Homo-oligomer: A and B are copies of this chain.
Amino acid sequence: MRTEYCGQINLSHVGQQVTLCGWVNRRRDLGSLIFIDMRDREGIVQVFFDPDRQEAFTLASELRNEFCIQIVGTVRARDEKNKNGDMATGEIEIFATELTIINRSEPLPLDSNHINSEEARLKYRYLDLRRPDMANRLKTRAKITSFVRRFMDDQGFLDIETPMLTKATPEGARDYLVPSRVHKGKFYALPQSPQLFKQLLMMSGFDRYYQIVKCFRDEDLRADRQPEFTQIDVETSFMTAPQVREVMERLVRELWQDVKSVDLGAFPSMTFAEAMRRYGSDKPDLRNPMELVDVADLLKNVEFKVFSGPANDVKGRVAALRVPGGAALSRKQIDDYAKFIETYGAKGLAYIKVNERAKGIEGITSPVAKFLNAEIVESILQRTAAADGDLIFFGADSAKVVADALGALRLKLGRDLNITNGSVWAPLWVLDFPMFEDDGEDGLTAMHHPFTAPKEMSPEQLKNAPETAIANAYDMVINGYEVGGGSVRIHNGQMQQTVFGILGITEQEQREKFGFLLDALKFGTPPHAGLAFGLDRLVMLLTGTDNIRDVIAFPKTTAAACLMTEAPNFANPASLTELGIEVVKKAKDRPSEND
A residues with CB within 8 A of B = 1-2, 21-24, 39-41, 66-68, 70, 102-106, 108, 124-127, 129-130, 135, 138-139, 141-142, 145-146, 149-150, 153, 158-168, 174-190, 196-197, 200-201, 203-207, 214, 216, 218, 221, 227-228, 230, 237-240, 491-492, 515-516, 519-520, 522-527, 552-554, 556, 559-562, 564-572, 575-577, 579-584
Of B21, B108, B124, B583, which contacts A581 at CB under 8 A? B583
Q: What's the Cα separation between A182 and B226 when bound, in Å? A: 13
Inter-subunit contact B178/A176 (CB<8 Å): yes
The CA of A179 and the CA of B189, in the complex, are separated in Å by 11
A525 contact from B68, B165, B204, B553, Cβ within 8 A: B68
Chain B residues with CB under 8 Å of A185's CB are 570, 583-584
Residues of B within 8 Å of A575, CB to CB, are 168, 174-175, 177
* Cβ–Cβ contact A524 & B571, under 8 A: no
CA distance A582 to B526 in the complex (A): 42
Q: How far is the CA of A207 from the CA of B22 in the complex (A)?
A: 10
Query: With A and B bound together, what is the CA distance between A491 and B105 in angstroms?
Result: 12
A568, B108: Cβ atoms under 8 Å? no
Tell me how far the C-beta of A426 lies from the nearest C-beta in chain B, rounded to whole angstroms. 28
For the complex, give the distance between the alpha carbons of A206 and B185 in Å.
Answer: 42
Which residues of the other chain, B, contact A577 by a CB distance below 8 angstroms?
584
B41 touches A200 (CB 8 A): no
Docked-complex contact A102 and B527, CB < 8 angstroms: yes
Complex Cα gap A341–B480 (Å): 67
Q: List 7 A-B contacts (CB under 8 A).
A: A125-B200, A126-B523, A167-B562, A177-B575, A179-B179, A185-B583, A186-B569
Task: Pick the contact of A126: B105, B204, B237, B239 (CB < 8 A).
Answer: B204
* B105, B125, B179, B205: the one within 8 Å of A23 (CB): B205
Contacts of A126 in B (CB 8 A): 200-201, 203-204, 520, 523
Residue of B nearest to A559 (CB): B182
Cα(A41)–Cα(B129), bound, Å? 44
Q: Once bound together, how far apart are the Cα atoms of A177 and B205, in whole Å?
A: 35
Contacts of A576 in B (CB 8 A): 177
Q: Are A162 and B516 in contact (CB under 8 A)?
A: no
* B-side contacts of A582, CB under 8 Å: 581-582, 584
Q: Is the CB of B552 within 8 A of A161?
A: yes
CB distance from A259 to the nearest CB of B (A): 15
Q: How far is the CA of A40 from the CA of B526 in the complex (A)?
A: 11
Check A167 against B565 for contact (C-beta < 8 Å).
yes
Identify the closest chain B residue to A557 (Cβ): B182
- In the bound complex, CA of A216 to CA of B178 (Å): 12
- List of B residues within 8 angstroms of A146 by Cβ: 149, 153, 159
**Among candidates B103, B145, B164, residue contacting A214 with C-beta atoms closer than 8 Å:** B164
Contact: A204 with B130, CB < 8 Å?
yes
On chain B, the residues within 8 Å of A566 by CB distance are 167, 515-516
A176's nearest neighbour on chain B, judged by CB, is: B178
A-B contact sample (5 more), CB < 8 A, given A167-B567, A183-B559: A130-B205, A135-B205, A142-B158, A164-B228, A188-B568
Which 7 A/B pairs are nearest by Cβ-Cβ distance? A129-B204, A105-B524, A167-B567, A186-B568, A68-B524, A180-B568, A167-B565
